Each structure stands twice: as structure tokens, then as C-alpha cells.
Structure 1
Amino acid sequence: MQAHIPGSPDMVESVLQKIERTRQARKHKFYLRDERITLSHGSGGKATHNLIEGVFAPAFSNPMLDIMDDSAIFTVTGEQPRLAFTTDTYVVSPLFFPGGDIGKLAVHGTVNDLAMAGARPLYLSAGFILEEGFPISELRRIVDSMANAAREAGIAIVTGDTKVVQRGKADGLFINTAGVGHIQAAWNMGQNFLRAGDKILLNGPVGDHGIAIMMAREALDIETDVESDTAPLHSLTEALLSAVGEGVHCLKDPTRGGVATSLNEMAMSSEVSIGLEEHAIPVHAGVRGACEILGLDPLTIANEGKLLAVIAPEQAEHALDVLHAHPLGREAALIGTVQAEPPGMVFLHTDIGGLRVLDMLVGDPLPRIC
């Protein structure tokens, strides 16, 4: 797939100049210019990256962290087995939403971060920040849901912590989880291992989680039956790794910031370009309709049960068959190709025959979605 730019020679030249300016700007990555935290810093998009690069990354820099994947990969003795370690905090609002709740989300999100590292999840921790006055009945419901999600995923919650803050200081309940898993892949993979020619696979329709949260939170008068897609993906990744082996170059779950942000992270980390075909990207009708009404792009909306798989071209069709054979991959699609130039850019070939730069999420259209 090559980036064909339609239009007159002058128009093409103008587009190319804009692309080059954007590419040069991205070479310098992210800068934190804000003086105070805003909701945009929690969106998973550019503001989040600015915050990470401007505050956390330089302070905590080390070889494992600097890779900037969702899990750290390490060994205890310097030999096999390799382990993956990850952590996440959940502040979703509302706590209960169509298709799930904060407890189920906390388990699935951490399981999936481990799975994207090629790991089999083993153990989780759970930390609870409770607001004074929070109903015990709701806490019990959330904890039961969390326990059920862990059992269904075949993992154990083995340690935890509880804190209570004054009324009005925590919006009900926040949950922090951390997880450790055993790496199944014997080869290196991640967002800095993309190669020109690789194919981009997606295991199903995008945007369900973010739109379900927004509908529940804002009580918008839009008829839709969209539910969160929250699901544990480790059985799907294990099947893919077992069948395709070293042909799997990267796995990533497009959560905050959606598919657009995740692909931009990959393109910048590997210094490659990615071309997508809009018509190939599955989107449920309810999500597409809600996005059209609200002026949102489904490709920047959060998901909690989706993965992007970057596969060697000769293995792509086999990998797609493996995804289709799994309950969580029945609607999987091949959506794009990795290209060598221009590095650090993602392009979308639109349904109307045009080409546009697909940037990572800017702003905070859907804060507090995980």
C-alpha cells in the first residue's frame, strides 16, 4: 500500500509540504507547555504524551521504562523465564455502564496490557481509594464483579490495599491494579519492531467502549444499543502467538486515544509510516451514528476489548484466520500496511478516495473512560 495523493500537481505538492512539516515537528516529539493539569492530560492523546515526556520520563528514565510499551519486560536472575509487569488506575465515570463496571474493567485492562507483551497473566494486585459515604452495597457489587472477571480469566488477585478519603475527594471509587505475567514469546516484539511491508490487523469493531461510557454518563437522547467491548484478550493473543510465532511483530490494545493514537505511537517508535484503508476498518452502526451526531472520530475513541496486531506480510492471512476462529476475533480485519516513508506518520485512505493524515487524539472529547 503506497500513499497515493489525489489532486493537481500543486495540490499534491502542498500536501507533501504539510506532511514534511508535520514529520519534522514529530522528530522532536512532545513538549509540556501547560502550567496546570487539565482533563486532556488524561485522554491518552497528545496532552498525555506531553505530560509523560515532560515530567515522568526524564525523572524515571531507565532502559525498561524508556521503551514506553504498556508493560515492562524483565528477568529476575538474568535468565529465562522472562516476566512482564504492568500497572493501571481506573477512574471511569459512571462506575456502572452498559456491558461492564469499574471492577470488570480493572481486571480486563491489566490482563490485556500483559497479553499485549506476549505474556500469560498470572497475578494481580488491587488497590481501592474509597470516598467517605460510598455505599457498601455498590462496593460489594463491584468487588464481586472484579472477582468473577479474575476467575473467568484464570488469574488470582493476590494482594491489595484500601484507603478512604473525605467526602467529595474521590468521586466515589478509584481502583489501581498491577499485574505480572510469564512471557510466552521467545522473540522480541513491541511497538519499535515494525517493518516496512508488515500488515496491520484489528480483531473487531472500534469505539464501542468510549461511546457506551459517553451515552451512560451524559444521558444523551440518542437511540443506540452500544455496549462496552471490555473483555480479556489473553486467550486470543496466546492463540495468535502459538500459530504465527515470530511473524507477530507487535501487539497493542487501542484503549485511551483509540486506534489513531496507538498507531501513531507505533509509527514514531519504529520510525515507519502506516497506511490505513478506511473501508476496511469495522465500526458498528450505533457507534458510527453516535460519532456523526457528536462530531467524533471512531478511530480516536477508546476500546477495551480490541487489539492491533502487526504481522509479517507472509503470515498475515494465516493470522487473520486465527483471529476469525476465536470468539473475540470473528469480525477481525486487515486494515493497513506498514511503509518505510515518511517515518512517524499515519495516513488514512478515505472512502471517498482522498488521503488524510491520521493524527493521535488532540484534546479530551471523552475524559474518564477507563
Structure 2
Amino acid sequence: MSVIDQIFEKAKQNPQKVAFPEALNEKMMEAAYQAGENGYIYPVLIGNPEEIGKTIQERGYNADVFTIVDIKEETYKHSLIERYIALPETRLKEKALNRRMADALQYAMVMQAVGDVDVTFAGIDYTTGDVLLAGQMIIGLKPGIATISSIGLCDIPGFNGSEGSLLAVGDSAVCTNPNAEQLASIAISACDTVKSLLDWQPRCAMVSYSTLGSGQGELIDKVTEAVKIANELRPDLDIDGEFQLDAAISPAVAAKKVKRESAVAGKANVIIWPDLNVGNVAVKLIQQFGKADAYGPMLQGFNKVICDCSRGAPVSELVGNIVISAVRAAGSK
């Protein structure tokens, strides 16, 4: 059974409520319908119920698969506002929140913040910036997390790592040039993500062009400082470095280059790139030359699971990302 098949099976065992603020988008509705009809999620469509209902009928879908939330229905809206502003450390007051909830994306995130849905899934009609800004304002960041980032899961043919052919990598999509504190946050978030998604015991390597001082310079200093910060913030996690990539994933290379005890060296299942240049190029190399399947990017760092999908993604890929997001949400509870 492939990794994606395993994730789909986990989703079916514990379906989560996923909010779709782009309810009328043809691809998004089809993806939500497929994921819901197959029992992976409970899809919740946000918007105008008359328009949504008419569209469901025109496309021949079974309306019973969906829950439809009327964005203009005042009783439920006021209930959401009251519960949201009662949450600790909320930034928005009643008037400001009421204005924002005219927007379906922000309405969905308020539902998520108070626990009425488990995931907000968007990104076709809304931009990445829309999703990130709404998420930071309404959902907020996890304690100790300094930046939003992403992680991907690579299934690499011929790779025989500590998790077989699988390797989690990040950040390859969001944070351009993280400082040491941000890099530490990315590592911590990545560990939490793979733990919730795959039940792994994370072994996280922070990589550079140096292994434990074999090179010198400010690029290396950033990584070593990030390792220190991450270990101070989350001593429960196995985060180590700085390692070159081969020392991180190859036991034979680690035995030569790492002359101290390490729970990570040679057996890392999570790799953290030092910046987006490295991350983007590395993922393209893995895909082009390693013929790997790469799942993601998965946004991380928020208090709850938010997904910003690729607007050019086919429906099949959207369904996969919906299911991954649902499993992450279930695993984080």
C-alpha cells in the first residue's frame, strides 16, 4: 500500500469537517464532492445556499453529501462571533469580526477557530496571500512559532532511508530566507506535522554545506543557531545539525563525519533546508532526477490546519491535498 493510500485509509477511519469558502468553483466543488462521497471528509460549503444548491443540482451531485452554511444567516453568525471573541488571545473585536465575516474565507476560519469545522481549504479563487493573512489574523500561530512555513512529503524510488522511500522536506515553498529563529520554527512545525500525518517519531536534520563545523561562515552560523533555539524550545524533539545532506540520511556517511552521539545523523526522516533557494532547487532535483512523487506543500505553523492549494492543480491532486489536510487535523487533536 502506497503512502497516499495509507493516508486515505486513515482519513476514512476518522473523517473531519472541511470548510470550502470557494464553494461555487467548479474544480473545488468536484474535489469536495469526491472526498465527501468516498467518506474521507464531511464537506461544508460556505456561501449563498440558493446558488450553491442550484449548482449542486446542475452538476448532478447528491446534495446529502454536503453541509451548506448560509454566510448571511444572522443567528448562527452571531453565535460564531460570540464564541470567537470569548476565546483567549483573540485579536478581533465584535465589530471588526462582523465586517470580516462578509468574506467566505474569513467566515470559514472563524468556524474553524471555534471548532465547528476542522480544516479550511482554499486557494483557487483566493490568493496565497489572502489565505496566509486571514490565517494569521483569525487562526493565529502556535505558541513558540515565529513564522508560517510549509513541508512536503517525497516518495523517492530507490531511496532506502529510515522510513523506506519516504522523506519529509521543508521549507520549499513559503519562507524565502529565514533567520535562525524562523528556521527553528520551521523545524519544530515540520516535526509536529509529520507526527500528526504519519505517526512517525521525527528525526529532524537541519542541513547546510557543513557537517558539525567542517565549514565556516555566516550561512552555517544561522543553521547552528537554529538548532540551538529549536532544542531549547522543544527538548522533546530530536532536532540536530548542522549536517550535510549525506550525513543526515546515510548511516555510512554519518559514521565517518559525525563523531558524537546523535539520534538524527544517518537516519533523518525530516530535512530542513537553510533557505528557499536550496529548498526549491532540491525538490526539483528530487522530482526530475529521482522521479519522486512530492505531496504538498502543506502549510504549517498555524494553530489549526489551513490549506492553500495550487490553483492549477487537477481535481485528483486537490482531493489528495484535502485528505492530507483532514488527516493532519485529526492527528493534531
Q: Same fold (TM over 0.5)?
A: no
Greater percentage in helix: 2
Greater percentage in strand: 1
* TM-score, structure 1 as length reference: 0.26
